[in-house]
Structure 1
């Protein structure tokens, strides 16, 4: 790690390459994890209701099964599965059936590479940089899943929260107390908004996964990061949400996932929260 810190011309390309590879795996998580969850829910529901067994083979796993074209089932060879470059070489089409390949694949791979490079630029090539990259990868996966399915799986939000609390035991980014208070405040704050909204309207304004995601962000950003994350995510969500509804021609009752905006805001606050707060205090004369 010290060698990479003193030779960033080698470290940054190495991290970018790793980011592309991890981004390819995150695409698999984004696409396959919700399908696995739905299959397990249906299986558990049949068991609870004592319904007869049905032939319902599980969808592809996240790690073992090879990548394939969702249109024709063509299994990808190694040279068709090179992150970013294969999509460009194939011009965004399956080599077998010529069906279009979603632009999500190269975007997630490129985004992951850029953000993990930003993490090591901000924190260095040591444990802080590694932890920041791990935090970033979880947020990308969660934002992608929520954007596509309006789900924030416990299998991602809860480990992310615990990893933040574990990092705080060694003061990696902050002491344990601010991290624990941040996790508590993150959950309680959004839960309170959800509860009040339900009492007034009789409807649920957000999913429970949003509470857990903000709790996880609080474990990494601390108590002082909760309010900036909520404010920033609300502003970004309002602006982007209105644009989305206008473009799609939908009314304001259309549900919009909040997780991606929490992830964007949480990442910004994690990376530059202290700088943003410092500038705010200087402008406010505090």
Structure 2
């Protein structure tokens, strides 16, 4: 099986596509539950601090079961509590078969669930097609997974949890610590030095912009999670690709931000999380960074 996948690129891409559908289904659970789990931890910590300080303040009660994690309890309809069966949890097909509604109470199920599954499958298959069957593909799939989950959590809650960004920094550096140069056929980060410098520069660039903006305006222009996300991206793509990441994220953020303001009829104070745009730019750079850079340089100096 391994030999077949390593010698047949279309078969590998198809296999990884199906794998992406399955992982995308799990990512929906993580996107929905991780913020709630973190919120419970923050509430518990805050309650302990207030209790030690002898403050008579209590946090509002949560509408969560006592045992609540990424794997328990089973997924259920938030409206009627109907437990989702295995046949109702087949990526994309179950949503289409159920016509986007709960089997029990007919409450609409968001189209975002199959969208995340399809997005994961397509991005996974693209990684397989670009990198082929090797260890680098594994790290690319991990990178893609963290970006997808982090982007949707940031979009929903305007937070990028350290539980996602910090491990990704170390995974990126570890990629080029353990892989030999001969194993890195697509050299978006040529060596360990480039990865480490990329992580440092990625963090410091946005950290500097954050403080400059705050000093000039007295406002916070972005969250600290954005620093860590760009550090993680820098660890994977190397410091030489960071300008491309910043340019792509800025352009996509500006264009989509203007469109969002027009659609939602909001003013200039309308805030949009920057994390998803960094993730989009980081993933594009991971896959097509070198060709895009060469195209850009050729346009400047044909």
TM-score range relative to shorter protein: over 0.9
Structure 1 unaligned regions, length at least 5: none
How far does the alpha carbon of each residue in 1:260-279 deviate from its partner, in whole angstroms, 9 at most, with x for none?
Answer: 00000000011111111111
How far does the alpha carbon of each residue in 1:138-182 deviate from its partner, in whole angstroms, 9 at most, with x for none?
Answer: 100011111111110000001111000000112445311000000
What displacement does 1:255 show?
Answer: 1.2
The match for 2:202 among 163, 181, 186 is 186
What displacement does 1:52 show?
Answer: 7.7
1:60 is paired with a residue whose SS is coil
* Cα distance between partner residues in 1 of 2:276 and 2:251: 13
The match for 1:144 among 152, 156, 160 is 152
CA contact (8 A) 2:9 2:132 kept: no
What displacement does 1:5 show?
Answer: 2.6
How far does the alpha carbon of each residue in 1:90-117 deviate from its partner, in whole angstroms, 9 at most, with x for none?
Answer: 0000001100001110000000000000
Q: Which residue of 1 aligns with 2:15?
A: 14
Structure 2 unaligned regions, length at least 5: none
Q: Which residue of 2 aligns with 1:31?
A: 32
CA contact (8 A) 2:9 2:129 kept: no
Q: Which residue of 2 aligns with 1:248?
A: 264
- Structure-to-structure mapping, 1:209-220, within 5 angstroms: 209-220=225-236
CA contact (8 A) 1:112 1:140 kept: yes
Q: Which residue of 2 aligns with 1:203?
A: 219
Q: TM-score, normalised by structure 2?
A: 0.91
What displacement does 1:258 show?
Answer: 0.3
Q: TM-score, normalised by structure 1?
A: 0.96
* Cα distance between partner residues in 2 of 1:205 and 1:52: 31
CA contact (8 A) 1:32 1:61 kept: yes
**Quick check: 51-60 or 103-112, which moved more?**
51-60
- Structure-to-structure mapping, 1:64-79, within 5 angstroms: 64-79=72-87
The match for 2:163 among 155, 165, 178 is 155
1:252 is paired with a residue whose SS is coil
Q: Which residue of 2 aligns with 1:259?
A: 275
The match for 2:237 among 221, 245, 250 is 221
How far does the alpha carbon of each residue in 1:226-279 deviate from its partner, in whole angstroms, 9 at most, with x for none?
Answer: 111111100000000010011001111011100000000000011111111111
**Quick check: 232-241 or 49-58, which moved more?**
49-58
CA contact (8 A) 1:30 1:144 kept: yes
